[in-house]
């Protein structure tokens, strides 16, 4: 990747990241839950419309917190798409519960609500809805299903910071949501994540779980005279240097969103004629949603076409990776989870999807990506 002319991703500093790191050093606290952590929590809660936000060291950590808050027990089941990152399923499997993989919608690539409804059993405790490519899933239908069966609804919004569904931000659409600030995401801190909560009854326990199972947050607020071990938990906090960098990014989130949406629109414009000719398929914006320009992908004709495209672009110095290997067919998926049906859409999409470079500083290099991709597609009709 280091020798690529255009990498798939390149992290960028946008504003005051280094200045805030210097401030954190001068302030004298580098461990978690300091000044910049609290500033980030407030910003994330405001931008997502959640009742509370808690910064974590990764989205994986936030998902593990969500699984704990779902109070999953061994043998319980959680419905989720197979077309997602391993952390979604790992969080469930770590509790001894069973990830139940369902198919995705062929247009949105998000969890198919009707497949989710059909997969519910007496052991089902939650639905984890992944917002693929930053486009929120059909949360009204999923919320209806969750209410009917008394299930917890969790947004895996790792890719969706800044996106909306029916005018409401991702992060405010379920009982809780998880976000990623990994360097491949829109808002970055190298590694990092957050858990947002829309149920006030979960906030205090979330604080306890995040602080190793102690009531330290209540102690620091003066609500108890000492803090002690009161529940299970782990060390889910990032350090203050991570939070300081992230705060610099959050301050520029509107600018980042605008830049990425412009890149996304340019890609769409560039390949519209090739879609009309039947050569590729472009992403579709689900009804009632706005995206955040997190990702741009092409759906190729088949696996061989996809692999040949990736190889051709690599030869030209441009990195265009595929995405998930479906979890239902992965070794750990077979061991820890189960499939609800055959998942034909997931199998088909995962074999054909290829992602084009997308990052804040891509700039005019997008024209090189477009020209190279179009040239390859036209040479290989």
| pLDDT surpassing 80 at residue 1 | no
Q: Does the residue 337 lie in any domain?
A: yes
Number of domains in the chain: 2
**Are residues 369 and 223 part of one domain?**
no
Core vs surface per residue 105-139: b (16+ CB within 10 A) or e: beebbbbbbebbbebbeeebbbbbbbbbbbbbbbb
Q: What is the pLDDT of residues 174-232, one digit of tens each?
A: 999 999 999 999 999 999 999 999 999 999 999 999 999 999 888 888 888 888 999 99
**CA separation for the pair 35, 58 (Å, rounded):** 19
Q: Is 3 within a domain?
A: no
Cα–Cα dist 286/138, whole Å = 8
pLDDT at 269 over 80: yes
The whole-number pLDDT of residue 4 equals 65
Report if residue 275 sits inside a domain: yes
Question: Given this model, what pLDDT does residue 31 score?
Answer: 94
Integer Rg of the chain from CA: 21
- pLDDT mean over 347-358: 98
What is the reported pTM?
Answer: 0.96
Distances (CA, A) of 52 to 17, 36, 63, 77, 82: 24, 16, 16, 26, 29
Mean pLDDT score, 91-106:
98
Q: Is residue 12 part of a domain?
A: no
pLDDT at 146 over 80: yes
Q: What mean pLDDT is reported for the chain?
A: 96
**Would residue 2 count as lying in a domain?**
no
Structural domain that includes position 363: 253-379
Place of tokens 């992965």: 330
* pLDDT score of 64: 98
Cβ-based neighbours of 1, under 8 Å, separated by 6 or more: 7, 8, 319
Give CA–CA dist 36/190, Å, rounded.
16
Rounded distance, CA 233 to CA 225, Å? 21
Do both 204 and 302 map to the same domain? Answer: no
On whether both 288 and 219 belong to a single domain, the answer is no
pLDDT number for residue 218: 85
Residues 175 and 317 in one domain: no
Structure-token pair, residue 371: 């020209």
- Asked if pLDDT for residue 2 goes beyond 80, the answer is no
Regarding whether 341 and 367 lie in a shared domain, the answer is: yes
């Amino acid at each position: 990747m280091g020798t690529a002319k255009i990498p798939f991703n390149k992290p960028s500093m946008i504003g005051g990241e280094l200045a805030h790191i210097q401030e954190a050093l001068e302030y004298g606290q580098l461990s978690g839950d300091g000044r910049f952590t609290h500033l980030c929590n407030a910003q994330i809660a405001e931008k997502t419309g959640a009742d509370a936000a808690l910064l974590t060291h990764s989205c994986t950590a936030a998902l593990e917190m969500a699984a704990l808050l779902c109070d999953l027990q061994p043998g319980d089941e959680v419905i989720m798409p197979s077309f997602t990152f391993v952390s979604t399923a790992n969080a469930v499997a770590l509790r001894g519960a069973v990830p139940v993989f369902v198919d995705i919608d062929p247009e949105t690539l998000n969890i198919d609500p009707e497949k989710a409804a059909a997969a519910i059993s007496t052991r089902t405790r939650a639905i984890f809805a992944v917002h693929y490519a930053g486009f929120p899933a059909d949360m009204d239908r999923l919320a209806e299903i969750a209410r009917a069966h008394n299930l917890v609804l969790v947004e895996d919004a790792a890719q969706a910071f800044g996106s909306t569904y029916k005018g409401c931000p991702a992060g405010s659409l379920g009982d809780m949501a998880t976000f990623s600030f990994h360097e491949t995401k829109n808002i970055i801190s190298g590694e990092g994540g957050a858990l947002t909560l829309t149920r006030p009854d979960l906030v205090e326990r979330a604080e306890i779980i995040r602080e190793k199972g102690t009531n330290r947050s209540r102690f620091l607020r003066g609500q108890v005279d000492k803090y002690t071990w009161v529940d299970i938990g782990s060390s889910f906090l990032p350090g203050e240097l991570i939070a300081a960098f992230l705060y610099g990014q959050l301050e520029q989130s509107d600018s980042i969103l605008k830049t990425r949406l412009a890149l996304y629109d340019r890609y769409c414009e560039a390949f519209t004629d090739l879609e009309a000719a039947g050569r590729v398929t472009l992403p579709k914006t689900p009804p009632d949603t706005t995206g955040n320009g997190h990702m741009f992908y092409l759906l190729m004709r088949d696996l061989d076409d996809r692999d040949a495209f990736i190889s051709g672009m690599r030869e030209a110095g441009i990195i265009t990776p595929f995405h998930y290997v479906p979890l239902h067919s992965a070794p750990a998926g077979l061991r820890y989870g189960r499939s609800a049906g055959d998942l034909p859409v997931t199998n088909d999409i995962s074999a054909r999807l290829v992602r084009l470079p997308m990052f804040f500083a891509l700039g005019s290099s997008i024209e090189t990506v477009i020209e190279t991709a179009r040239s390859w597609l036209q040479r290989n009709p």
